[in-house]
Structure 1
């Protein structure tokens, strides 16, 4: 599957599933009457259009197109950590299959319209609940992800950045935090189906096209 959206600063981002990458490359060459390759950057022969390819998490060390094609054909083992204030999911993705997972929902009080002391009291309660949720989520991450950390090529996170950050601040998860990939997946409230969708999204190759 191919998805595209505008890129900040110009051009657009395209996300390509590994199975379609070779066909996309053939199409780029065909549309541009060939292309010059420099590492993971393609420049069209006929008009200078540029495509910069970014490997999926776990393949950050690949340096050219051939190595990228080889790498995506045998996807690395990664961990997934998805979190929002009311739910989290953790999973191990072995190639293309989720081999271990846990999804958990948490009760978190919403905001109150009351002001003054009452509002402050509810704000403190929400803060305390957020801390408790982060701790419970860290417990799950420790149980599902940490035993496999030595076998993981990357940890891919998704959801609310602040919530994910709070979970990974737990000192027990330092080995996982060290594997965290810079990309944050956009996901709905974590459920099993959302975890499965994230496993697919994490394998995609991102391409910055200009123009």
Structure 2
């Protein structure tokens, strides 16, 4: 099994494991460390004290043991996705192995200008208006796709954090804010294929390994 690792702030490293490979990864951890003890979602290797702390994916955040996590990822619940950057936004509902609802919208936001003086101020105001319109348009997309499923999904966000935060300030989307999952996805400008890939990434189990 090939696992891509990346450094973790404060030490150790992160790996992401797809649900169908989680049981095999756990067996490998036990095998490499001559067994391990479990305390909640943290495994401690018997041979050297290495630890692996499992972070449940959206839809399984209430689990508190490894066995419960394995059961939860085997029966995934639907999740909502909201991806936004200044040029585009996408929202979707992912159930089973496919998107059952989705909407992608593109926006025009003028690039920065090198002009100075009055002209620069005029372009800055225009750009600000275009950004506000993009936020409003992204909120429309989120409302159309995500509000009908209400509190039945966990919400995974990605893209530009400031843009997503601005979108979720729309009063219509207040019911979605408590559903927001802590993990934020780093994605390209939203397109349908980006939304589909984000759904796959969102369902992975994140594991913090130390050392």
TM-score range, shorter chain: over 0.9
Q: Which position in structure 1 is the counterpart of 2:155? A: 155
Q: In structure 1, how many angstroms separate the alpha carbons of the residues matched to 2:181 and 2:208?
A: 18
5+ unaligned residues in a row in structure 1: which ranges?
A: none
Unmatched segments (≥5 aa) in structure 2: none
* Structure 2 equivalent of residue 41 of structure 1: 42
Alignment match, 2:16:
15
Runs (4+) off by over 3 Å: none
> SS in structure 2 opposite 1:2?
coil
Q: Show the counterpart of 1:6.
A: 7
Q: TM-score, normalised by structure 2?
A: 0.97
Matched, 1:52 2:49: no
Quote the offset at 1:95 in angstroms: 2.4
**Shift of residue 126 of structure 1?**
1.2
Task: Provide the secondary structure at the position in 1 that maps to 2:209.
Answer: strand
Counterpart position of 1:70: 71
C-alpha distance in 2 between matches for 1:39 and 1:93? 28
Aligned-pair CA distance for 1:3: 2.7
Alignment-derived partner of residue 178 in structure 2: 178
Following the alignment from structure 2 to structure 1, what is the Cα–Cα distance between the partners of residues 108 and 165?
Answer: 19
Deviation at 1:193, TM superposition (A): 0.5
Deviation at 1:125, TM superposition (A): 1.2
1:49 and 1:193 map into 2 onto residues whose CA distance is 37
What is the aligned partner in structure 1 of residue 115 from structure 2?
114
Aligned length, in residue pairs: 210
The answer to whether the aligner puts 1:85 opposite 2:86 as a matched pair is yes
Task: Measure the CA separation in 2 of the matches of 1:2 and 1:116.
Answer: 53
Cα RMSD between the aligned structures? 1.0
Shift of 1:163: 0.7
